[in-house]
Structure 1
Amino acid sequence: MLFRKRFYFSFFLFFHVLSFFAQDNGKVVPLKKIINNIEHQHNVSFNYTENIIFAVQLNPPKKALSLDQKLQYLARKTNLSFENIGNKFINIYKKDNPSKMICGYVFSATDKQTIENANITFLNKTQIQTDSHGYFKFEKEDAAIFLISHIGFISKRIVADNYNSKNCLEITLEPEITELEEIKANAILASGIAKNKDGSFEIKPKKFGILPGLIEPDALQAMQQIPGVNSLDESVASINVRGGTHDQNLFLWNGIRMFQTGHFFGLISVFNPNLAHTISIYKNGSSAFFGESVSSVVAISSTADTTEKNSFSAGINMINADVYAQYNISKKGSIEISARKSITDFVETPTYKQYFNKVFQNTTITDFSFNHNVNYQSDKKFGFHDATLKYIQKIGRKDQLVLDLITIKDNLEVFQSATVYNINKTANNVLHQQNYGGNLLWKRNWNSLNTTKINIYNSSYALLANQQITMGNQIVLQENKVHNNGINLENSHIINSKSSFNEGYQFNEISIANLEQISNPDFYVKDREVLRTHALILEGKYNDTLSRIYFKAGTRINYIEKFKKYIVEPRIQFLYGISKSLNLEMLGELKSQNTQQIIDLQKDYFGIEKRRWIISNNTTIPIQRSKQLSLNLFYTKNDWLVDIENFYKKVTGITTSSQGFQNQLEFVRTTGDYEVLGTEILVQKKINHFLTWLSYTYNKNNYHFSNYSYPSFPNNYELTHTISWAGIYEKNNFKIALGVKWSSGRPKTSLDDSLIDPSNPVLIYKKPNETNLKVFSQINLSSTYKWETTNGVQFKVGISILNILNRKNAISESYRINSLTNSIEKVETFSLQRTPNVSFRVSL
């Protein structure tokens, strides 16, 4: 019995060990099935031709073996060669004829991914293509020279005479750049400013040179040098593009719509000039992905095109101080922060005093009867700050997340008193203005030809005005709050080296609340409106550099839920190169806008216009709609640049309350339109380190209010003639710019003195805007110098002087009745007086 057990045990052990060493014992299976099993187990890919493995069958190798052991086993059993490339790709070819084969892989140079369906073209014009793994293979005798090409990549010529058949070729293709390039002008107006093929102006603050009156690359100040862009009251919160009001412009910061654009009530931009990487400005022909504006688009992106090195800078001028830092957390992650704060809490500089006098100037009030001047005195406390944060994280080779946050705030507190005919009047006044925003962007490059972007954003704006008047024991409280959020989806496809196509969807929700409360007598009004819109966007582009044709067309289909209304907005950009030096450009667009700013009680609160955001109700407050067409000739040769543009623009659905009337229409509520016909000319010449340019703008801008007694008259924002000149010198680290601005006076409405009874004064006006203010002229100067220490620390100093000649330019004129004196008063406001500024900055 014991012998039998030992026999069975020895017999079992013998055959078990034998089967362990005998790998080929068992059922034979096709080699293709074995290959498939290895691909799944080891996550590799085999490349071969079917005729090589078609009839091969053998016992499969043990699963416990390593990949290399399995390949050695297969090579030993099949008389085939198995070439392992990086444990990812395995090539199979016959052992007896390896020298006759050429194989290879084609990769993208940007993301190192293999390229499928790349064309391999031989001298005899025959072709083969790479497979799903980017692999190709052919007989060496077929061709030693071949061409590799693929849509979206630069073709490459390969010579394989000295090719070693033991290793496959690894070929990388560079992507063919199809992005917009600057027109052949190195600089327009200043270094760092260029004009793109789509008609937009692009500002690169980090490459920015200098402009008259500017020592920092302030986006909203710099754009006012572009023909057709003005600010009648020198405020970045009142930028007028081709006759439009400020609220008709769309301002985007990293995809976030900004409802507040100026500090210090418009004299300083809220966008930190040391932060932005690219600023794009569209006067016409904007992309269909931009909605909610009937005038220009200003898109600011602080996301750099390439990864930047760690940096830090800090600066100060006579208004504010700021810091900026960029730090790479890892190879794939970085963080960027900036912060800026006014220094008015610590010191009142000459620049601050001029700014304050400009905004809160003691309005010159001339009494018609007694020629008596009334001067207000006040104790004031003013300050502002802004801060931004950006976080970028790359995920793998294809994905990227970007988070942007921004906060802006202005605070003003004023105790005001005035004595008129022994009557004392005092008021405690508070004004707070703030804008918060956030945007989360996910971007994925599916491959070299397809990209998807999804971003979710929110923007919140609040204006609080509180005025206390002791005489009469009255308190006035006003609030305007805006909440805007939404989601954007955009897909981009490169069809070939000349054509691309984009499509997208956008959802936008905006809520606006207004509150007005007055005590003694009691008055309370509060309303809140919400509007939701959906937009479908389709856009295609064709760019042929050989035939010098650039064409981009798109459409935006808006659906407004509340009104159950569809609005279609086509856009077009066309450029034809008549020659290498001369381009013809045509731009056109239809756009709409559901929000606008109205001006209530503009004579209260220091005479500052308290502009409130409101939403269209599709009746008394219509949806604003615009149409615009422009034709442009652009010439560049031998450092000469000539840009001539003619345009037509019409905006319907405007309300009188949004236009800032201070005449007989101030309390009239009606709707209408304005129509602009204009010409913009820029002539520029560069001579070595010297750049000079002269611009001229003409526009005829008229209102049309069919229900008003004067159905047509000049627009409040019409500047019939505007001329600007600048001379800029830049050499090494020294820059200086001198410039002149001249414009015909803006329209004004005069009183009809012949109909006014001094004993019972009533404001009786002549026809609206039939006369003009005196001409506006100003000379500005700026200069900067930069140097660097041996350890790489950079220092920069700058000085600027606005209105060198200290000219007193009137920017508005209106009339009112003084209830204390029972007389008519003329109210005039003036531009900035001579205003110096000095800056200092250090960068690491």
Structure 2
Amino acid sequence: MLLPKQYHFLFCIFFYVLNIFAQDKGKAVPFNQIISDIEKQHQVSFNYLEDNIAGLSLNPPKKSLSLEQKLQYLSRVTHLSFENIDNKFINVFKSENETQTICGYVFSALDKKPIEDANINVSGKIHITTDSNGYFEFSKRDRNTLLISHIGFSSKRITTANQDSKNCIQLFLEPEVTELKEIKANAILASGISKNADGAFEIKPKKFGILPGLIEPDALQTMQQIPGVNSIDESVASINVRGGTHDQNLFLWNGIRMFQTGHFFGLISVFNPNLAHTISIYKNGSSAFFGESVSSVVDISSTPETVEKNSFSAGINMINADIYAKYNLSKKSYIEFSARKSITDFLETPTYKEYFNKVFQNTTITDFSQAQDIDYKSDKKFGFYDATFKYAQKIGNKDQIVLDLITIQDNLEVFQSATVYNINKSENSVLRQQNYGGNLSWKRNWNSFNTTKINLYNSAYELLGNQKTSITDQVAVQENTVNNNGINLENQHILNSKFSLNDGYQFNEIGVTNLERVSNPDFYRKVKDVLRTHAFIVEGKYNDTLNRLYFKVGTRINYIEKFKKTIIEPRVQFNYGINKNLNLELLGELKSQSAQQIIDLQKDYFGIEKRRWIVADDSIIPIQRSRQISLSLLYKKNDWLIDLENFYKKVNGITTSSQGFQNQLEFVRTTGDYEVFGTEFLIQKKFNNFLTWFSYTYNNNNYHFPDYEFSTFPNNFKLAHTLSWAVMYEKNNFKIALGTKWSSGRPKTSPDVSQIDLSDPILVYNKPNNTNLHVFSQVNLSTTYKWESDNGIQYKIGISILNILNRKNEISEYYRIASLTNSIEEVETFSLQRTPNLSFRVSF
């Protein structure tokens, strides 16, 4: 008789279950041998504590059973728990009524492979390591803190308070790839100044030693000590790098382009020297992420590399007073504030008087009273200030947001009056120069290999001049404004410890407005131009310090919307250590610039700040483009340092109005280029507490204006020979420096007397820049001393003297027709006379 179908089904289930739990009859086998046989048959790995299986023997399960069936059998017989992870790993631990354990696996986040011999510190008391499968386990407590570490990986800390003992933890460690430190030539020129493998000079103001004439680490004054960097008129607003004009340099403060760089019309830097953390100066071979300059790059960052404690400092010298404060809001956020203001509003120090005489000589302000000594009155008000603010916030372990703000302003008001032959003459002049800027940046470390940084920035500059004359009842207003904003995106990809790749995108918009308004007769002109540029950047870097090899190559692709023009700018930096003492460096770059400064009239803005910003129109005002290459050898041994560099540089698209001509080319409008090649040499020796160095620069710098009758002649900023020497002594908290500068005179153009009718003179010149001024020579001294009180407050006093020998150095000379005598007049401008300065600072 056939059984019903349901009985057939139950009958099969019975024998199936019976088969599962049926065992081979025979001798008991040690547990570790049983699981070893299972590992071989099913290609799995068992993880367990020896104490849990010690002395355990049983009949092995049938080989014909599946893996899961065998685990069920072993669990029933041994009262152990078995956790199957993807049929690869089997965790063995005691049941919950036994001693509970925590288990886990440690894997690499990069390739998901197990990490063997990873160190695991349990609550600072138990130390265990992972096996070949990355497995570990330990006895569970109420709360365990694990610190997992392994060479080559970033450490990780977790808490296992609520961890289920049946489910193993899976931990992934991020590989730790640390870029090797770049080769640096430390203590070049002074402590706190070094030269990187990429050719940049790096200044750390907080580690700054001392230089002749400087008692504060002023960025723009300091960079003039670097061979190849000069200022022909002692102004930080007229810095010439390898023959270029000041506007051809890119000045960045925390990612914000600064269009005003000097207070007191160039005698003082606008960047607070007590604030900056790192200043990088590139004469050549700058990163492809730097655009809008055909000469040098000065990149100032006030963001510290490491977390710093709360601090406050205040100081005063014979020109200005300042304060600085940093306060940590939490472990992940802080604010930073600095402010500086001139003291000239209520005190005229000897330093101020020397500065004032130097700046305003041969201007409309000092010319007003010329040949007039009757009832002359003058009232001058001058002042400046700058302030910065930073807010930094870390979000989690991967993100950081930083907000930077800066404001700068200079104000000059001059009222002059005189009575001549019962005629009252008065003039009221107002000049204001200001620059505001802001930058918001977000940085995210996705992992140890990839970082993204985005920043939004804005920079607004204004130069306003207002002049009122009583006799003609004329009011003249001139205004130059610049509004620059944009967005930068930069990604960094670290491929390994030696090679990294950066890529990014930048959008830049610059708008320039020039306004002129005159009454009696009425005249009004306002011109506004806007340029928008898109830039795509890719840059790769190879840095192998073991083999002393550094190589960086990048390309910047600019697209200018208005002109529908694409400009490709490759950059290269190569540094090779021939041996441990000798380095070879090759730098090269192609760059472009769409904004520049011009001088329409030498009397613009009362003859003080004559330059105004304009943007290129791709015709009359072309886009400036440069190409430069340099080759240098750097030798270091036994505290000797020798640096020899040869370079070639050419800049196309310059205009005569941007070069400051005061000869027959002052009113000529044409375009051309300048070409310069030269040599820069530095030798330095450090012994005991002394550091001394000598530098020499030679450059042959010439203009080419093909449409002008004299197509080739010397550049206005040509200093064929420049020598500098300094010696510094530093011991404990006392520092002193003595140094001298010497340079051949800058070019000038003399009048052709043979062709001038002295009875009715009209200026006729010889060939442009046919002769030179007298040599420039100056000796400077500075010294500082720092001490600390018992309560931890630090005090610092500094004394400097510029031009100790009080030499009368001529820095400019030109000719004009004197209105009173109707004769040719030679106008000379001189450098600072002997100028002392004294500073005092307190910090805590």
Rounded Cα–Cα distance in structure 2 between residues aligned with 1:355 and 1:616 = 35
* Partners of 1:315 and 1:841 within 8 A in 2: yes
Query: Runs of 5+ in structure 2 lacking a partner?
Result: 1-41, 48-65, 118-128, 136-148, 156-166
Q: Give the match for residue 572 of structure 2.
A: 572
Rounded Cα–Cα distance in structure 2 between residues aligned with 1:789 and 1:174 = 46
Q: Give the match for residue 81 of structure 2.
A: 80
Q: Deviations over 1:292-343 (max 9, x none)?
A: 0000000000000001000000000000000000000011110000000000
Q: Give the match for residue 66 of structure 1.
A: none
Rounded Cα–Cα distance in structure 2 between residues aligned with 1:748 and 1:374 = 30
* Residue correspondence of structure 1 range 395-406 to structure 2 within 5 A: 395-406=395-406
Q: Which amino acid aligns with 1:93?
A: N
Q: Which amino acid aligns with 2:313?
A: S
1:180 deviation in Å?
4.7
Query: Runs of 5+ in structure 1 lacking a partner?
Result: 1-47, 61-73, 85-90, 108-113, 123-134, 142-146, 155-165
* Partners of 1:554 and 1:572 within 8 A in 2: yes
* Partners of 2:577 and 2:584 within 8 A in 1: yes
* Partners of 1:364 and 1:827 within 8 A in 2: no
SS at match of 2:354: helix
- Change in Cα spacing, 1:810 to 1:57, as seen in structure 2 (3 Å) is farther
Q: Give the match for residue 288 of structure 2.
A: 288
Q: Give the match for residue 298 of structure 1.
A: 298
- Change in Cα spacing, 1:95 to 1:603, as seen in structure 2 (3 Å) is closer
* Partners of 2:116 and 2:134 within 8 A in 1: no
* Residue correspondence of structure 1 range 664-743 to structure 2 within 5 A: 664-743=664-743
1:817 deviation in Å?
1.4
Do structure 1's residue 105 and structure 2's residue 103 form an aligned pair?
no
Do structure 1's residue 181 and structure 2's residue 175 form an aligned pair?
no
* Residue correspondence of structure 1 range 48-197 to structure 2 within 5 A: 55-56=67-68, 79-80=80-81, 93-95=91-93, 105=106, 117=112, 137-138=131-132, 175-178=176-179, 180-183=181-184, 185-197=185-197
Q: Give the match for residue 67 of structure 1.
A: none
Q: Which amino acid aligns with 1:688?
A: N
Q: Give the match for residue 529 of structure 1.
A: 529
* Partners of 1:602 and 1:609 within 8 A in 2: no
Do structure 1's residue 307 and structure 2's residue 301 form an aligned pair?
no
Q: Which amino acid aligns with 1:177?
A: T
* Residue correspondence of structure 1 range 546-561 to structure 2 within 5 A: 546-561=546-561
Q: Give the match for residue 750 of structure 2.
A: 750
1:754 deviation in Å?
1.5
- Change in Cα spacing, 1:381 to 1:614, as seen in structure 2 (3 Å) is same
Q: Give the match for residue 581 of structure 1.
A: 581
Rounded Cα–Cα distance in structure 2 between residues aligned with 1:516 and 1:170 = 69
* Residue correspondence of structure 1 range 464-479 to structure 2 within 5 A: 464-479=464-479
Q: Give the match for residue 502 of structure 2.
A: 502
* Partners of 2:116 and 2:133 within 8 A in 1: no
Rounded Cα–Cα distance in structure 2 between residues aligned with 1:291 and 1:506 = 10
1:174 deviation in Å?
8.6
Q: Give the match for residue 62 of structure 2.
A: none
Q: Give the match for residue 237 of structure 1.
A: 237
1:471 deviation in Å?
2.3
- Change in Cα spacing, 1:362 to 1:244, as seen in structure 2 (3 Å) is closer
1:186 deviation in Å?
2.9
* Partners of 1:366 and 1:827 within 8 A in 2: no
Do structure 1's residue 660 and structure 2's residue 654 form an aligned pair?
no
- Change in Cα spacing, 1:808 to 1:364, as seen in structure 2 (3 Å) is farther
- Change in Cα spacing, 1:786 to 1:465, as seen in structure 2 (3 Å) is same
Rounded Cα–Cα distance in structure 1 between residues aligned with 2:389 and 2:69 = 63
- Change in Cα spacing, 1:520 to 1:820, as seen in structure 2 (3 Å) is farther
* Residue correspondence of structure 1 range 550-629 to structure 2 within 5 A: 550-629=550-629
Rounded Cα–Cα distance in structure 2 between residues aligned with 1:234 and 1:663 = 21
Q: Deviations over 1:773-798 (max 9, x none)?
A: 00000000000000001111000000
1:820 deviation in Å?
3.4
- Change in Cα spacing, 1:230 to 1:180, as seen in structure 2 (3 Å) is farther
1:94 deviation in Å?
2.5
Rounded Cα–Cα distance in structure 2 between residues aligned with 1:291 and 1:418 = 50
Q: Give the match for residue 42 of structure 1.
A: none
- Change in Cα spacing, 1:373 to 1:75, as seen in structure 2 (3 Å) is farther
SS at match of 2:622: coil
Rounded Cα–Cα distance in structure 1 between residues aligned with 2:480 and 2:452 = 36
- Change in Cα spacing, 1:561 to 1:604, as seen in structure 2 (3 Å) is closer
Rounded Cα–Cα distance in structure 2 between residues aligned with 1:574 and 1:76 = 70
Q: Give the match for residue 440 of structure 2.
A: 440
Rounded Cα–Cα distance in structure 1 between residues aligned with 2:661 and 2:79 = 92
Q: Choose 1 or 2 for highest CA Rg.
A: 2
Rounded Cα–Cα distance in structure 2 between residues aligned with 1:832 and 1:576 = 43
1:425 deviation in Å?
4.2
* Partners of 1:317 and 1:838 within 8 A in 2: yes
Q: Give the match for residue 538 of structure 2.
A: 538
* Residue correspondence of structure 1 range 419-458 to structure 2 within 5 A: 425-458=425-458
SS at match of 1:562: coil
Q: Deviations over 1:706-750 (max 9, x none)?
A: 000100000000000000000000000000000100000000000
Q: Deviations over 1:590-630 (max 9, x none)?
A: 00000000012213554324211000000000000000000
Farther off after superposition, 606-615 or 708-717: 606-615
SS at match of 1:447: coil
Q: TM-score, with normalisation over the residues of structure 2? A: 0.82
Q: Deviations over 1:613-668 (max 9, x none)?
A: 00000000000000000000000000000000000000000000000000000000
Identity of matched residues, % = 72
Do structure 1's residue 349 and structure 2's residue 343 form an aligned pair?
no
Do structure 1's residue 759 and structure 2's residue 753 form an aligned pair?
no
Q: Give the match for residue 786 of structure 2.
A: 786
SS at match of 2:497: coil
SS at match of 1:212: coil
1:398 deviation in Å?
0.3
Rounded Cα–Cα distance in structure 2 between residues aligned with 1:77 and 1:424 = 117
SS at match of 2:611: strand
Q: Deviations over 1:516-569 (max 9, x none)?
A: 111122111101001000000000001112222110000000000000000000
Rounded Cα–Cα distance in structure 2 between residues aligned with 1:629 and 1:457 = 31
1:472 deviation in Å?
1.9
SS at match of 2:330: coil
Q: Deviations over 1:813-835 (max 9, x none)?
A: 11111233322211111000100
Q: Which amino acid aligns with 2:301?
A: S
Rounded Cα–Cα distance in structure 2 between residues aligned with 1:756 and 1:245 = 33
Farther off after superposition, 49-58 or 258-267: 49-58
